[in-house]
Amino acid sequence: MEVVFLTFILVLSIFLGFELISKVPATLHTPLMSGANAISGITLAGAFLSAGAMNSEMATILGTAAVTFATINVVGGYMVTDRMLSMFKSKRESVK
Amino acid sequence: MNIELIANLSYIVAAVLFIFGLKMLGNPATARRGNRLSAFGMLIAVVAGLNSQGIVSYEYIAGGIIAGTIIGALAARLVMMTAMPEMVALFNGSGGVASLLVGWGTLYGGDISMFTAITVLLAVLIGGVTFTGSLIAYGKLSETIRSAALVFTGQRIVNSLVLAGLIGSGVMFTLAPAADSQWLYIVLALALLLGIMAVIPIGGADMPVVISLLNSYSGIAACAAGFAIGNNILIVAGSLVGAAGIILTNIMCKAMNRSLVNVLFSGFGAVKQGKAIEGEVKPLSVEDAYYILEAASNVCFVPGYGMAVAQAQHVVKELGQILEANGAEVSFAIHPVAGRMPGHMNVLLAEADVPYEQLVEMDDINPRIENVDVAIVIGANDVVNPSAREDQDSPIYGMPIINVDHARTVFVLKRSMASGFSGVDNPLFFGENTRMLFGDAKESISGVIGEFG
């Protein structure tokens, strides 16, 4: 039953993703992509268990590496997106 | 209330924040807030994840977070705006490999059901392809490796063998899933190989499509990892990113009038040549450029990847301001696939403080291009190549272009007469109303600005 439930979530999220992105001006394609990329670092939330459960040495190594890589993705992704977006100015703002 | 319930409630909040964040990223006025909202959602999800039952030691987690934060923050701060596409590719690759490792690590958590085995397999496969694919894309974008399409005889056979091997060892693994199964190692190795094989035959000019496709893959990998460990937020966030990536990929493909299959498998650049072009190239001096621009009342800049290479965005903006002060109407026409990632040119011009009202899209500029006195092409080539409209034999035939050849005068700033990334000749350079301004784009424009001064 759990599988059905998870698949249900999957299908709805995919439709939501399509709806959200379909009308975005070209100007924002790069920040949108890198912002979405940062979200894909969500795998971090799942990496903790494997890094901290102390099941075996190998699991800890894999988990710690996963935490490191996912954090790079999350922190780097959000910061770089913010840096890009801080540059987008409208004419009014740049006069100030 | 138990901890698991609280964690799941937090995940719902995080998912809502991601959704609003993505929605707000779609509008220039709210984009920055949207990104922060989504980052806040991530923070909530991470804190909830840290509190999950079963974690007994936080030492390694803390170590990983600290190392990752330092690396990610430094990379994000120090990267040059012109090197943004390769940076995004690297972040993307690290997301992919993280999902791979999460999936793999799941195998050490006790009994492995058939369902878990399949999802772990998917996480390893997609994560692996994302990882090496992104590394190759990084190499091509930073020109550490040759950016042209690499095609060799028997490529299809090798790829088919890799695929067959993946399916075979995947089935063997699912039949007897174990953490130390040799089949898992084979799947891992083949997935990494597949990522390399998938990206090497794609030329540098098609990188916007590849980057956004890999972005989608990293979301799908996170989603697969979510199935493997039964975590809702990974599934929701992963599939949002996956769907968003597919949409962007589709937009890029439409802009080139090619199908995704064609982009991925055609090995652009190794294809037949269009008609040979004959004609005379008319060079232009900086002084003459000044006289023409001084008299122009409508000027349109058309930037391409060459502007990024020459780091010319700041002088371009300065020239734009001077022309505006001189009474000319100034716009920047941006082709959807100009540059090496979706919206690359917009980011560079934004860095140089060009207000986004001055940026116009291809479909808006083409109907009024006849009224443009001077179109200044800076380091763009294929996106302004009239062959795409006229020459049926041309490999880029059918791709929508910015019709700069219909403007009254065209200046083309170019280093030399070499052809663009696609390796196709450009009849624009031989056009009646085209003037070539040879040399480094930044120096040429600085020269023109000097004349105005």
The answer as to whether B435 is a domain residue is yes
Every domain of chain A and the residues it spans? 42-86
**Residues B86 and B134 occupy one common structural domain:** yes
Q: Which residues of chain B have pLDDT under 50?
A: 268-273
Please name the amino acid found at residue B109: G
Q: What is the pLDDT of residue B419?
A: 56
For every residue of B175-232, DSSP letters joined together read: HS--TT-HHHHHHHHHHHHHHHHHHTTS-GGGHHHHHHHHHHHHHHHHHHHHHHHT-H
Last residue of a domain, one of B265, B300, B324: B265
Q: For residue B273, tell me if it sits in a domain.
A: no
- Residue among B95, B7, B13, B9 at smallest CA distance from B51: B7
Same-domain check for residues B144 and B215 = yes
Task: Answer yes or no: do B293 and B185 share one domain.
Answer: no
Task: State the Cα–Cα distance between residues B130 and A32, nearest whole angstrom.
Answer: 19
B59 part of a folded domain: no
Per-residue pLDDT tens over the stretch B416-428: 766 555 556 788 8
Enter the pTM of the model: 0.84
Please indicate whether, in this complex, the C-beta atoms of A17 and B241 are within 8 angstroms of each other: yes
The pLDDT score that the predictor gives to residue B102 is 93
Cβ–Cβ below 8 Å for A10 and B32:
no
Q: Does B71 fall in a domain?
A: no
Looking at the structure, tell me whether residues B220 and B354 fall in a common domain.
no
Q: What is the 3-state secondary structure (H, E, C) of B324-345?
A: HHCCCEEEEEECCCCCCCCCHH
User: Is B294 found in the same domain as B239?
Assistant: no
- Domain count for chain B: 2
Give the CATH number of the domain where residue B403 resides: 3.40.50.1220
Q: Is the pLDDT of residue A95 over 50?
A: no
How many other β-carbons are positioned within 10 Å of the β-carbon of residue B451?
15
pLDDT value at residue B270: 43
3-state secondary structure at position B68: helix
Return residues 8-47 of A near B (CB < 8 Å): 9-10, 13-18, 20-47
Predicted pLDDT of residue B267: 54
Please indicate whether, in this complex, the C-beta atoms of B26 and A2 are within 8 angstroms of each other.
no
Which distant-in-sequence residues (6+ apart) come within 8 Å of B207 by Cβ?
B85, B137, B140, B141, B340, B341
Instruction: Please report which confidence band the pLDDT of residue A94 belongs to, taking 50, 70 and 90 as the band edges.
Output: very low
Q: Residue B421's pLDDT is what?
A: 53
Query: Distances in Å between the alpha carbon of B309 and those of A26, B33, B82, B84, B412?
Result: 21, 31, 7, 12, 16
- B277 part of a folded domain: no
pLDDT over 80 at A90, yes or no: no
Q: How confident is the model at residue A96 (pLDDT cuts 50, 70, 90)?
A: very low
Hey, which residues of B are catalytic here?
382
Chain A residues whose CB is inside 8 A of the B106 CB are 50
Nearest beta carbon to residue A56 from set B75, B108, B237:
B108
**Is B276 within the bounds of a domain?**
no
Domain boundaries, position B153: 79-265
Residues B373 and B428 in one domain: yes
| Residue in this structure with the two tokens 């001084």, named with its chain if needed | B294
> What type of residue sits at position B185?
Y
How many C-beta atoms surround the C-beta of residue B290 within 10 A?
16
Inter-residue contact B136 to B195 (CB < 8 Å): yes
Same domain for B321 and B234? no
What pLDDT is stored for residue B91 in this prediction? Answer: 94
Same domain, B340 and B291: yes
Q: Do B92 and B222 belong together in one domain?
A: yes
| Residues B323 and B185 placed together within one structural domain of the fold | no
Residues B256 and B111 in one domain: yes
Q: Are strands B434-438 and B374-378 parallel, antiparallel or unpaired?
A: unpaired
Do B294 and B440 share a domain, yes or no?
yes
The model's pLDDT over A1-45, given as tens digits with 9 standing for 90+, comes to 578 888 888 898 888 888 888 778 777 888 888 999 999 999 999
Torsion-angle region of residue A20: left (phi > 0), alpha (psi -120 to 50) or beta? alpha
Residues 339-358 of B with CB under 8 A from A: 341-344, 346-347, 350-351, 353, 355-358
Instruction: Compute φ and ψ for B288, nearest 5 degrees.
Output: -65, -40
Closest CA in chain A for residue B47:
A45
ipTM: 0.91
Residue B444 in domain = yes
